[in-house]
Structure 1
């Protein structure tokens, strides 16, 4: 399997602009080039609402929802050290000029950029994400799905459920209804809810990336998926099931249908993401593993404090010294980090 991560949707500026609104920030792209190569870093610059008249306007950086981080776009032979050193100097100057206090990164599991930038950020392994390898297995259903998952799919098909996929959908309103019902049932955190403008932004700004999937039973849509595609990767973004049909486990047919379609269309990989925590027994991670027995990726997060003195003042101001959350002064708000 060989994927071109540089063309992945998580490095698409349009996606960053969609999420900048949710973060109440501004999407920006920092491009650096020298004789060693090229680096691109996309992020959201957020104002820090410190509420202190004694402090100037301050900002911090975060990655749009999903994955990203600085990534090497081109590298000359023997130029790695020169490139990284030059980027560090240039980006440090940018952060100083723009009053950037801290920087949080979710490195892309498929890009390997956590290793490239481990000397510039405090990087730690968070968990593993799950994939379904469409390229290297003639039958990904047999190779990647667990025995119990295959059984559930066969039962769904035998029951009479069917899978439908719609490219370039005109609306996601029907999906929103099922998704919101699912989040309500799970008593999900507010950050897992999205408004109408969020879904419409995908329809308006990047329609070619949107896949709307349905599981139909006895003429009723009982489960739906809102998935994203890029050059050779499919991402399982959001999904939901109607409460009255949970006992039929239509989520298994959603995955199966996407696998069959993706394989036929020549995609290399379905990336399902990881769990909510770093625990290998995380329930969401274990569920995703049922469809990706053979394929995993290491997911790292990174952090950097650009202005230590100001960071300390903000932490003191918010009284959040005793927290592992980063940045500590946002611990109570915990936006989408």
Structure 2
């Protein structure tokens, strides 16, 4: 008899405590659907949300970040069979729990779309960039020459680095993040209160930390890093525009890479790039090809979904009907 391959939880975005920490971002409740089958096991964290304008219907979205259903144990060669059984079971779960629509932001480095993608409508929503920390000398092998010069410039200008593993520098993190948010008109979805971030340090203890860059004792650049397993993430970051000339953010990322290597991480994920300047900045730290961010959507109760969507469009002709689900457009 073949032995099941057990993989466990490879990345922080799949952890139940991650969903619990970020459930308020999507105005819902964190749920973990655990599917056990003779072929293996699947773990699926999601946020259950009340459908607007109703009192008894729900939809789901994966927690802030990139995750989705994940095979944690499987008989070799039966991944697709297990995924098909999961889809059938989750459909019944949705029926029983009055869930009418489901939206997934798949994790491109774990690659769970390989097993589940065929059951969803798939859209590309951008790219995810990362630094290969297993490349040997990341500074010379991954960083481009211009980025290496920026790191050296920060050091030459007397920029220093500190690590905060408890959240004691959150006041300065929030101060700098707010400066960045106002300057770049950051959407509300990406704004986080100090109390939210303080609570996240409690829920994700040992799995996140802040890297600060200082100039003459003043914190001028900051990044909130999160990690689990082989992966380290450049999760939230900001820079004081008054100190751009010191290139402190380049030193922050360089030191994040150093921490990752020292702590056995294989990849440092930089996130996406919504603007050309951001793409150029992040692209300076990596020579690897970016990964596609792919999302999945599925209607779990077509009759109710169509009824609610038609009512939304009738009440608001400016509804974005390309949005999924339509009634949230």
Alpha-carbon distance, 1:165 to partner: 1.8
Runs (5+) with no aligned partner, structure 2: 1-6
Q: Which residue of 1 aligns with 2:258?
A: 260
Q: Which residue of 2 aligns with 1:50?
A: 53
TM-score w.r.t. length of structure 1 = 0.89
Alpha-carbon distance, 1:112 to partner: 0.9
8 Å contact kept, 1:315–1:321: no
Other structure's SS at 1:165 match: strand
Other structure's SS at 2:89 match: helix
Q: Which residue of 2 aligns with 1:270?
A: 268
Other structure's SS at 1:207 match: coil
Q: Which residue of 2 aligns with 1:14?
A: 17
Equivalent residues in 2 for 1:22-37 (5 A)?
22-37=25-40
Q: Which residue of 2 aligns with 1:209?
A: 207
Does the C-alpha gap of structure 1 residues 81 and 182 become closer, same or farther in structure 2, counting only changes over 3 Å? Answer: closer
Q: Which residue of 1 aligns with 2:128?
A: 129
Equivalent residues in 2 for 1:244-323 (5 A)?
244-276=242-274, 282-319=276-313, 323=321
Other structure's SS at 2:36 match: strand
Other structure's SS at 1:119 match: helix
Instruction: Report the aligned-residue RMSD.
Output: 1.9
Q: Which residue of 2 aligns with 1:196?
A: 194
Runs (5+) with no aligned partner, structure 1: 332-337
Which of 213, 217, 224 is the aligned partner of 1:226? 224
Q: Which residue of 1 aligns with 2:42?
A: 39
Other structure's SS at 1:178 match: helix
Q: Distance in 2 between matches of 1:285 and 1:94?
A: 40
Alpha-carbon distance, 1:295 to partner: 4.8
Equivalent residues in 2 for 1:103-182 (5 A)?
103-135=102-134, 137-170=135-168, 172-182=170-180
Which of structure 1's runs of 4+ aligned residues deviate more than 6 A? none
8 Å contact kept, 1:36–1:78: no
Other structure's SS at 2:323 match: coil
Kindly provide the CA deviation profile for residues 272-309 of structure 1, in whole angstroms up to 9, marking residues without a partner as x: 11123xxxx74433322111122532321100011112
Alpha-carbon distance, 1:69 to partner: 0.6
8 Å contact kept, 2:8–2:72: no
8 Å contact kept, 1:170–1:203: no
Q: Distance in 2 between matches of 1:206 and 1:143?
A: 32
Other structure's SS at 1:117 match: helix
Q: Which residue of 1 aligns with 2:69?
A: 70
Other structure's SS at 2:19 match: helix
Other structure's SS at 1:316 match: helix
Matched residues, number: 319
Q: Which residue of 1 aligns with 2:3?
A: none
Q: Distance in 2 between matches of 1:96 and 1:225?
A: 42
Q: Distance in 2 between matches of 1:152 and 1:309?
A: 56
Q: Which residue of 2 aligns with 1:102?
A: 101
Q: Distance in 2 between matches of 1:289 and 1:11?
A: 26
Kindly provide the CA deviation profile for residues 86-107 of structure 1, in whole angstroms up to 9, marking residues without a partner as x: 2111100000111111101000
Other structure's SS at 1:329 match: helix
Alpha-carbon distance, 1:171 to partner: 5.2
Alpha-carbon distance, 1:169 to partner: 3.6
Kindly provide the CA deviation profile for residues 103-123 of structure 1, in whole angstroms up to 9, marking residues without a partner as x: 010001111111211221112
